[in-house]
Amino acid sequence: MFDVILTLFGIIFTILTLMVLAAMLIWGERRLLGIWQDRLGPNRVGPFGILQTAADMIKIFFKEDWIPPFAEKAVFFFAPCVVVITMLMAFAVVPFSPSLGIIDLNIGILFFLAMSALAGYSTILAGWSSNNKYALLGGMRSAAQMISYDVFMGLSLMGVVMLSGSFNLREIVEAQRDVWYIIPQFVGFCIFMVAGIAESHRLPFDLPEAEHEIIAGFHTEYSGMKFGLFFVGEYLGVILISALTVVLFLGGWLGPVLPPFIWFCLKTLLVILFIILLRAALPRPRFDQLMAFGWKYMLPLALINLVLTGAIGLALG
């Protein structure tokens, strides 16, 4: 009984922390982008503009929550929930430190991949149920992107699974005591980062909502808190990808002197900053370039990486 209460407490605490973190990240990203683009960014509300997100939240709660009369109501309502639910579910398998973490699942990686695959329905269904041609275009782009980038996201992780001999994220971290997997699996790391950014629809890959051609893509018809959920979902995706990168390639909580949880947070923060920097630095490709890049370069590269890892593993016994 005590265990159940403790787990429940852990779940609620994790969800609250993640939500606050995702909201803070919105401010952090705007501020950093401002600095990198030689301007100030939001700096009015509170010290350094840190309360900007709170102000935005208040605004978003008081906005009219409008459902277009031509939309499919049930699916329209459900679509933004899907991304937040699946992203939060995926955090269940992330080991934050040797003792912290919600569930120790022996199919941890597969669970994460399954949840990130299901998250794609959010954008697809949003695009379809809005019954708006720009939204539908965004939804279809999102579907094509999800299918393509899901494939080698899974393949890029199989190298790590081969080296550690487990799908369990906790065991994968433990297996990195000698050397972090970013060194033997550098190609896998690069492919995973690319696929992860594409899965969370971050800037170089945010074609489903490309505002210069299809208004706002899949969330064209969304307003108020429903739009807010998409926004939070995107940032939860960024945190999730960063946390998974840390667990799989950067040694998770391992590190000298500092406590494990601090190491985990520091590394995750570093990866998040890197993803934000990518947004500031890279332009958006055309959609056909995006698909060609996925199928013609990333997929063969992931397969070659897999074959080489297997061959070397066999040769070394």
Partner 1 sequence: MITILFYSAAIIALFCTIMVITRTHAVHALLYLIVAQLAVALIFFLLGAPFAAALEILVYAGAIMVMFVFVIMMLNLGRTTIERERLWLPNSVWLIPTVLCGTLLLELLFALENNTALTAHWVSPKEVGITLFGPYLLAVELASMLLLAGLVGAYHLARPYLEKPDRGENESPQGIALSAPDPIGTSSAENNQHPPQLSPSTTRRQ
| Chain centre distance of CA 86 | 11
| Residue 153 near residue 116, CB atoms below 8 Å | yes
d(CA 55, CA 45): 8
CB of 309 to partner 1, least distance (A): 16
Pick the binder of partner 1 from 19, 110, 162, 225 (CB under 8 A): 110
Element (H, E) at 92: none
**What is the CB-side half-sphere exposure of residue 63 using CA atoms within 13 A?**
16
Question: Is residue 133 a contact point for partner 1 (CB under 8 A)?
Answer: yes
The 3-state DSSP class for residue 200 equals coil
Question: Strands (DSSP E) along 209-294, which ranges?
Answer: none
CB of 117 to partner 1, least distance (A): 3
Element (H, E) at 244: helix 224-249
Kindly indicate which of the ranges 45-53, 109-117, 218-226, 269-277 contains the residues binding partner 1, using the contact rule CB under 8 A: 109-117
Question: Is residue 111 a contact point for partner 1 (CB under 8 A)?
Answer: yes
Question: Is residue 89 a contact point for partner 1 (CB under 8 A)?
Answer: no
d(CA 311, CA 54): 53
CB of 264 to partner 1, least distance (A): 24
Residues 177-216, one symbol each (x = binds partner 1 by CB under 8 A, - = not), give: ------------------------------x-----xx--
Question: Is residue 143 a contact point for partner 1 (CB under 8 A)?
Answer: yes
Question: Is residue 107 a contact point for partner 1 (CB under 8 A)?
Answer: yes
* Minimum CB distance to partner 1 smaller for 208 or for 228: 208
Question: Is residue 167 a contact point for partner 1 (CB under 8 A)?
Answer: yes
Q: What is the largest CA-CA distance in the chain?
A: 64
Pick the binder of partner 1 from 94, 113, 194, 247 (CB under 8 A): 113
Phi and psi, residue 86, nearest 5°: -65, -40
Token code pair at residue 139: 């939804």
Question: Is residue 288 a contact point for partner 1 (CB under 8 A)?
Answer: yes
Question: Is residue 291 a contact point for partner 1 (CB under 8 A)?
Answer: yes
Question: Is residue 104 a contact point for partner 1 (CB under 8 A)?
Answer: no
d(CA 246, CA 248): 6
Taking the alpha carbons of 186, 192, 195, 196 in that order, is the dihedral positive or negative?
Answer: negative
What is the binding site for partner 1 (CB under 8 A)? Answer: 70-73, 75, 105-107, 110-111, 113-114, 117-118, 120-121, 124-125, 128-129, 131, 133, 136-137, 139-141, 143-144, 146-147, 150-151, 154, 165, 167, 207, 213-214, 286-288, 291-292, 294-296
